[in-house]
Amino acid sequence: MPDPQWLAGQLRRPSGDDAAEVGRNMNASNGPLNLRCIAQLACTAGDRVLEIGPGNGGFVRPLLEAAPGLDYTGVDWSDAMVAEARAGNADLVAAGRVRFLQGGSAALPFADAVFDRVLAVHTLYFWEPPESHLAEIARVLRPGGSLCIAFGDAGFMRDLPFTAHGFRLYTLDDARATVEAAGLRVRDAVVHRETGRSNAGATVDKHVHIVCCDRP
């Protein structure tokens, strides 16, 4: 098992020689969840989509397949993940279909109301304070646009050793209150359950909330 504090730092912001492997492991651990979030996001052709924390961009192609003509932008804190995403999706980048930028969701480099959909999977834990990140996401969403956010339930996440190091944990009620305080309206919330591998390599029964919100 990897050192919990080291793993927590890598999950927050993959870096160094281990970054590429961390990205691949996250894809393996979170694959079914990401695909379900793509379905919940319900993109349509021509939508402008922003993903917060896409890692190595491993789920961009299924997203594009779900809605041909979609315009995709990924923003990630990690320089290493941005480089991996650009390399792994080089054909799509060259064609102008996708772009990957380094940055954080507390200060997005976009004008107001430019995106139709925003996706954020397993990133909520790292937003400090979460209200500023959510307000910034709301700013770049067009009226009527939606955010799909996925996070492990606090009860499940507390059993994972690495979450003791810099993770802010949420129940569904906590997240609902935080999202609504940022001016977004919760439209739907579903639970994703599966037995699978955690990022630490253990087999766990996962309990993850997928919350879909609209900007009024």
Residue 68: what pLDDT?
A: 86
Which residue's entry shows tokens 């956010």? 149
| SS3 category, 186 | strand
pLDDT tens-digit series, residues 120-164: 999 999 999 999 999 999 999 999 999 999 999 999 999 999 999
CA separation for the pair 114, 142 (Å, rounded):
6
Query: Using one digit for the tens of pLDDT, what is the confidence trace for 29-39?
Result: 999 999 999 99
Candidates 201, 196, 213, 209; CA nearest to 31 is 196
CA–CA separation, 184 and 177 (whole Å): 10
pTM of the model: 0.96
State mean pLDDT over 45-53: 96
Share of the chain above pLDDT 70, in %: 100
Q: What confidence score (pLDDT) does residue 2 get?
A: 86
State how far the Cα of 109 lies from the Cα of 101, in Å rounded to an integer. 9
Would strands 115-121 and 185-197 be described as parallel, antiparallel, or unpaired?
unpaired
pLDDT in tens, 67-113: 989 999 999 999 999 999 999 999 999 999 999 999 999 999 999 99
- Confidence grade of residue 207 (pLDDT, cut at 50, 70, 90): very high
- 67 backbone dihedrals φ, ψ, rounded to 5°: -150, 85
Whether 215 and 184 have beta carbons less than 8 Å apart is answered as yes
Which helix or strand (DSSP H or E) is residue 189 part of?
Answer: strand 185-197
Percent of the chain topping pLDDT 90: 96
Mean pLDDT of the chain: 96
- Provide the 10 A C-beta neighbour count for residue 176: 17
Q: So what's the pLDDT on residue 200?
A: 87
Tell me the C-alpha distance between 16 and 18, whole Å.
5
Residue 175 in this model has a pLDDT that exceeds 80: yes
